[in-house]
Amino acid sequence: METTLLENENIIVDDVIDFSFDLDEILNSSSDFNNQIDLFTSVNDTNYIISENEIMENRVLYLKKEVTPLFISLLKYEDFEFGQKSESIKIIQRELLVNRVATINWLNELYVKYFSKDEKILIGILRVLEYFNEKVFYPNSYTIALSSLVHKNDEIKEIAIRIFENWASITSYEILKNVQIETPWLKSYISEVVKDLEEELCLS
């Protein structure tokens, strides 16, 4: 089995798929193929738009019904180790490969749902986000991390700061530089991260 890593993203593909095929054979053998081509050549085609919406809605419904129970259970009870791939992270990697947009929307909905209901689940979602490159969930990644900085739980704030620290981008730097937190040790942590980012990004 060959394993490849999508460039700049923490998404693992366990099997290399052979996409080779005889196009002439397909064109000659399938009377419906030309109709399919016509369907996808116009973005203004109503049927095409409906089909895309249905695909997205069906995928999100599948995630909510079939994936959410196990994912939430893992977030509550599994141990997270920095840099290690947990089972919940493996689930996200797999679903990103199937439908990236639906997976991001679903994860964002979970974050909003549990923001004020269950801090343990919220912490789990942030630890999953922490594992991935910032571009994987962009721009939702920044929205989630930024909103976590205003949560009443200091541990949630700490993880959010650590996420920005790990991303180590100009955007992360600008956000942390303009964040106001009253908790002394978190305020000190942000100052240290900002200073480190200035040196790393040659901003000082």
Say which DSSP state 117 is in.
Answer: T
- Cα–Cα distance, 95 to 89 (Å, whole number): 10
Please say whether the beta carbons of 114 and 82 come within 8 A: no
Sign of the Cα torsion 82, 88, 94, 97 reads negative
pLDDT at res. 155: 96
**Mean pLDDT in residue range 59-75:** 96
Nearby residues of 150 by Cβ (< 8 Å), 6 or more positions away? none
The pLDDT > 70 percentage for the chain reads: 75
Count of CB atoms within 10 A of residue 63's CB?
A: 22
Give the pLDDT of residue 39: 35
Q: Quick one: which H or E segment has residue 4? A: strand 4-5
Please tell me the predicted confidence (pLDDT) of residue 82. 72
Contact status, residue 6 vs residue 133, Cβ threshold 8 Å: no
Among 158, 167, 87, smallest CA distance to 123 is for 158
- Which residue did the predictor score with more confidence, 5 or 163? 163
Sorting pLDDT into bands at 50, 70 and 90, what band is 108? very high
Using the predicted structure, report yes or no on whether residue 149 has a pLDDT greater than 50. yes
Nearby residues of 155 by Cβ (< 8 Å), 6 or more positions away: 119, 123
* Residue 14 in tokens: 């366990």
Q: Model's pTM, two decimal places?
A: 0.74
How far separated are the first and last CA of the chain, in Å rounded? 47
In this prediction, residues 131-155 reach a mean pLDDT of: 95
For 144, half-sphere exposure in the C-beta direction (CA atoms, 13 angstrom radius) is 30
The pair of three-digit structure tokens given for residue 107, joined into one six-digit string: 């994860």
* Residue that wins the pLDDT comparison between 35 and 187: 187
Tokens of residue 48, six digits: 């095409």
Q: Closest by alpha carbon to 123, among 85, 88, 156?
A: 156
* Tally of residues, the chain: 204
Integer angstrom CA distances of residue 171 from 64, 124, 136, 143, 165:
32, 23, 15, 12, 11
Cα separation, 121 vs 7, in Å, equals: 29
Is residue 48 predicted with pLDDT exceeding 70? no
Over 70: is that where the pLDDT of 1 sits? no
